Structure 1
Amino acid sequence: MPNHIPASPVWLFDLDNTLHDASHAIFPAISANMNTYIARVLEDGVTPVTQARVDAARLGYWKRYGATLLGMMRHHGVCAADFLSQTHDLHDLRAMMRSETGLGRLLQRLPGRKILLTNAPRDYSTHVMRHLRLQRHFAHHIAIEQMHVHRQLRPKPSKLMLSRLLRRHGVAARDCILVEDTLVNLKSAKQLGLRTVWVTQYLRRNEASTLAQMRPRRLILPNYVDVKVKSVRQLPKRLQRLR
């Protein structure tokens, strides 16, 4: 079947490090909150919990399951709502944010519906979108709390969750475009037949050392990425390359 892009595609936009620079201050603060939370869970009252052990859990679960939360739920029985609430408890969120200007105009120029699809919790992502003043440009806002399949939490990069999302919104995979900074999420989407756009401008400050080590390889365009852009503001000029 020839490549095509419909006149009105459905866009799935990630939030953190796609629509704004979460690596500037927000991700470091969330990571610090996660460290505190994980250390408290790992504490057994006998052996001190080292930073290396906390880091191994936070990054190890993220690499293995796509989200630290899933590992904490599976291996330590934590409550998802409690984990999300405490790790995303950020004071003065507005002061921590960095973003480009003109994102609203950019979204208006893109044909088709836009859906926010984020592994972040609803309360946090709602506040971020409010500060960005982008809420009105999105037909739907799908946060991690809504990513359940068969009563199991299935955040990105779950292909099962993405398939359910497409069916629920009545859109064919080939008529959908995922805009993301995270390659593993783009890979899953491409395997389902979605178009994929990789946003790279905020990778330079990613706090995870594993990603920093992977940077040279990651910046080579993988075969499951249709378009690589530095900024989402470049999307209108790259539409033809998504056809």
Structure 2
Amino acid sequence: MNRIPDPDSFAALKEHALRAEAKGFDHVETWVFDLDNTLYPASSRLFDQIDAKITAYIAHHYDIDGLSARALQKHYYRKHGTTLRGLMAEEGLDPADFLAFVHDIDHSVLVPAPELAAGIARLPGRRFVLTNGSRRHAESVIARLGVADLFEDVFDIAAAGFVPKPEHAAYDAFLKLHGVVPDRAAMFEDLSTNLVVPHSLGMRTVLVTPRGGEPEGLERLTASDDASPAPHVDHMTDDLPGFLTALAIVASE
């Protein structure tokens, strides 16, 4: 049975629809979604588990205390884009061991998201997940959310040659592998900096912001990320399912 939205919800959907129409999504044939804190809400605190595991990994690897490990984690993240890339560049670390450890988390905090699934299912064309995480982690997340069968593929950090977003090469590798035409694609991300390259390539960009300003882990923050509009952000929403429903409203008119 379909849920009838209350007047406030309907008004919000209408506003989404008007903005989406103004930005123009009618040309989009490929829909690309980041994973962590994008497909699921930051309020689930799932990524906090990963963030803590990264700190623990560094503490064990260097035999240092937690505060020192946190400082080193921040250094690697700022300098290299991800802690993993820093460890690979400066320590020659095998990424498989790192990824297996940091993604060994409790995914049960995620619950099925039928409204999200319905919104994604309505999108015409191809759909992908593009993540700096591992395929194993991504597949666990989308399975818990109930959206696994809605995506053509998961493009993970290994597929990108361990070059993370926001590096241009990460997007180039994805576009080449799947034959995606960027000016006929849309990208959904929770990090503004990860939308700079997609926008420059001609992709429609959507920044997914946390509701209520939930704090994010170290690995999800950069100095340039905030809630203010930027030229490379075509649209902002704190309600991804609502935004996707709005796209369906626009398409049906």
TM-score norm. by structure 2 comes to 0.79
Please say if residues 110 and 236 of structure 1, whose CA atoms lie closer than 8 Å, have aligned partners that are also in contact: no
Match of 1:218 in 2: 226
Q: Cα gap change, 1:84/1:22 in structure 2, threshold over 3 Å: closer, same or farther?
A: farther
Q: Percent identity?
A: 30
Q: Distance in 2 between matches of 1:24 and 1:111?
A: 29
1:72 maps to a residue whose letter is L
Q: Distance in 2 between matches of 1:223 and 1:198?
A: 12
**TM-superposed deviation, 1:66:** 1.9
Comparing 79-88 with 136-145, greater Cα deviation is found at 136-145
1:155-234 equivalence runs, <5 A: 155-201=164-210, 204-208=214-218, 211=221, 218-233=226-241, 234=243
1:31-70 equivalence runs, <5 A: 31-43=51-63, 49-70=64-85
Please list the CA deviations of residues 89-124 of structure 1 after superposition, one character each: whole Å capped at 9, or x if unmatched: 11x421x22575411110122222111111111111
Q: Distance in 2 between matches of 1:80 and 1:64?
A: 18
Please say if residues 183 and 198 of structure 1, whose CA atoms lie closer than 8 Å, have aligned partners that are also in contact: yes
Comparing 173-182 with 190-199, greater Cα deviation is found at 190-199
Q: Distance in 2 between matches of 1:20 and 1:182?
A: 14
**TM-superposed deviation, 1:173:** 1.4
Please list the CA deviations of residues 175-202 of structure 1 after superposition, one character each: whole Å capped at 9, or x if unmatched: 1111000111111211222211000025
- Structure 1 unaligned runs (5+)? 44-48
For the residue of structure 2 that corresponds to 1:110, the secondary structure is: coil
Q: Distance in 2 between matches of 1:235 and 1:220?
A: 21
Aligned length: 225
- Structure 2 unaligned runs (5+)? 1-22
**TM-superposed deviation, 1:160:** 1.6
Q: Distance in 2 between matches of 1:9 and 1:230?
A: 23
Match of 2:88 in 1: 73
**TM-superposed deviation, 1:85:** 0.3
Q: Distance in 1 between matches of 2:233 and 2:79?
A: 22
